[in-house]
Structure 1
């Protein structure tokens, strides 16, 4: 038992030491920008660099809604991804991102008036989603989830696309070279 405690204590000490080393190399000040001034806070991390022509093609998958009226943090992850990479030298035009939405998050794709009728709250995501699309992010809603939630295509926020399913959207994006962000 004592040997196990000593090993456990030593492992804990190593883990704390590694954690503290990681914290020392990352600044704890989170800030917005340079692309989004109201979304996507990020922190600087020393010693991270990217090749001159680094590019990313990533699909983010979101199936869970947040509380009505609030911003879905998983949607905001796309703004954070863009901000932190552009801030670290990746060219904005080299970031190809897609957001595939299904499940309970489907209703967060609704225009303000439709969302408010259903939830009695403003859609806290509409401004963010519009800003993401203005930056070239492809936002795709699952047609199967839309049918299940009674969401008509005409009720979607302008610019949101609908595919047959989230699985279909991911398959099409994979064929274009997108990886899936592991949430």
Structure 2
């Protein structure tokens, strides 16, 4: 009887300890998306200084970790979620929104994540609205610029009026990335 009681007490203690350690996710910069957690003993934290980030968004993965799975048209793509996490991690680390200069350069299959609802439904033959639009709005609200590759649009016969309203068009993703690297941007590939 005592070993069973000991196991039960141990389980209860570990459940309470785990719950106490994992607080609610924080969204200091991108509201509602990409929740992150403070790490009490972290020794590597960002400095609150001007930080230039370029996200090279090329894949339209919705099922991260299982590339063979069918896309889930009801979920935003992983790269946009991770972009929100990236900004929120900087925020939790003490970097102010004003010190973040972030550009998301979209090309490849990720271009279709920028469709407004009607174009999204027609292109993917789905009843779902584009689940990426709320996160794109939140990123825009956080000061992120979304720039799409003009070459990718041309190759897919996509017009600007089919896209998220705050999308900017570049000559190409490749030239935008090389230009911004020379300006000191750190590049993340999602």
TM more than 0.5: yes
Alpha carbons 2:46, 2:94 under 8 Å: kept = yes
Q: Does residue 76 of structure 2 align to residue 81 of structure 1?
A: no
Following TM superposition, where does structure 1 have runs of at least 4 consecutive aligned residues deviating by more than 4 angstroms? 27-30
Instruction: From the two aligned structures, give the one with the greater strand fraction.
Output: 1
Structure 1 residues 169, 116: closer, same or farther in 2, change over 3 A? same
Q: Does residue 135 of structure 2 align to residue 128 of structure 1?
A: yes
Of 115, 121, 133, 1:110 maps to 115
1:54 shift after superposition: 2.6
Task: Work out the CA distance in 1 between the residues paired with 2:74 and 2:165.
Answer: 19
**TM-align CA RMSD:** 1.9
Alpha carbons 1:106, 1:149 under 8 Å: kept = no
Deviations 1:142-173 (A, max 9, x none): 11111122211121111111111110221232
Equivalent in the alignment of 1:155: 162
Deviations 1:38-94 (A, max 9, x none): 21121322233444x433101111111132231111111121112121122111111
Equivalent in the alignment of 1:43: 37
Task: Work out the CA distance in 2 between the residues paired with 1:160 and 1:78.
Answer: 16
1:175 shift after superposition: 3.6
Alpha carbons 2:30, 2:142 under 8 Å: kept = no
- Secondary structure of the residue that 2:52 maps to in structure 1? strand
Unaligned runs of 5+ in 2: 1-20, 62-70
Alpha carbons 2:34, 2:85 under 8 Å: kept = yes
TM-score, normalised to structure 1, is 0.77
Structure 1 residues 81, 111: closer, same or farther in 2, change over 3 A? same
Count residues in correspondence: 156
Unaligned runs of 5+ in 1: 1-26
